[in-house]
Structure 1
């Protein structure tokens, strides 16, 4: 369900849209992890695109949804602090993945796979915790200016299923 374009409707289901974004990001990461052992130009491009999207999502949450929730639901501040810490750990992994893919030399496949496996494990836990603790509060946000992209860094992709 996607909300209407009215100011109240735009945020009526932002928690559900966060779940859709998480599902899409998880599916993209699974595609990367299932890629052949020989990195190609397409794999590099896909991986870097994924890293950028995940980074935008976490940056958007930190500045958008988390900021708004911290103001409106102060009891969530410790949860938000934990999630921001996770975002910093994820950013470090993304930097290492980008460094592995960024050079003109051969990609150390085992090291890349290890980073992607670690990222997948962390994100699985992070996404479930975030959803469990924030979806209800996010869905309760109404009448706020902005869009899902403003709050979550990305728009919910269409037709995502778990």
Structure 2
């Protein structure tokens, strides 16, 4: 449940909201990988649903990281300067993730045969990186984010997304 009365109350649990977003993104990636597992090996025409799901996931993950970079990370760098080295490490991870997302989007192409093995390898690498990245980010930032009760803005402005409900 997200508090939503005053701006301070909305941000009281922004760190917890980040965890919810990470859980949702992780579940979506697992579902995407499972859907890809149902696709024949080698080249095959990707289903529209698989392509759409993959592109939607890539866009959501990119939006989350871009939102963190421009929102939460900037605020934390100002408010909690001792976190700057952590934030710098996370920014590097975001760049690596963006590279993987770009390769996945390129592999999906427009109505080209799907190189299933390559897409699966990219998504497997992404899953491993995100597992580590999300845990590190949560361990280092949740408390600091939850302490941002007096900052203007919304969790979506700080994190790029809100966790879907239901």
1:114-136 Cα offsets, whole Å, 9 max, x none, are 00000000000000000000000
Which residue of the partner structure matches residue 37 of structure 1? Answer: 39
1:133-160 Cα offsets, whole Å, 9 max, x none, are 000000000121111110000012225x
In structure 1, stretches of 5+ residues that fail to align are none
Which residue of the partner structure matches residue 118 of structure 1? Answer: 125
In structure 2, stretches of 5+ residues that fail to align are 41-45
> How many pairs were matched up?
159
Which residue of the partner structure matches residue 14 of structure 1? Answer: 14
Q: After TM superposition, where is structure 1 displaced by more than 4 Å over at least 4 residues in a row?
A: none
Which residue of the partner structure matches residue 2 of structure 2? Answer: 2
Pairing 1:95–2:95 present: no
Aligned to 2:4, the other structure's residue is in SS state coil
Aligned to 1:154, the other structure's residue is in SS state coil
Query: 1:1-162 alignment to 2 at 5 Å?
Result: 1-35=1-35, 36-38=38-40, 39-159=46-166
- Taking structure 1 as the reference length, what is the TM-score of the superposition? 0.95
- Range moving further from structure 2, 12-21 or 1-10: 1-10
What do you get for the CA RMSD once the two structures are aligned? 0.9
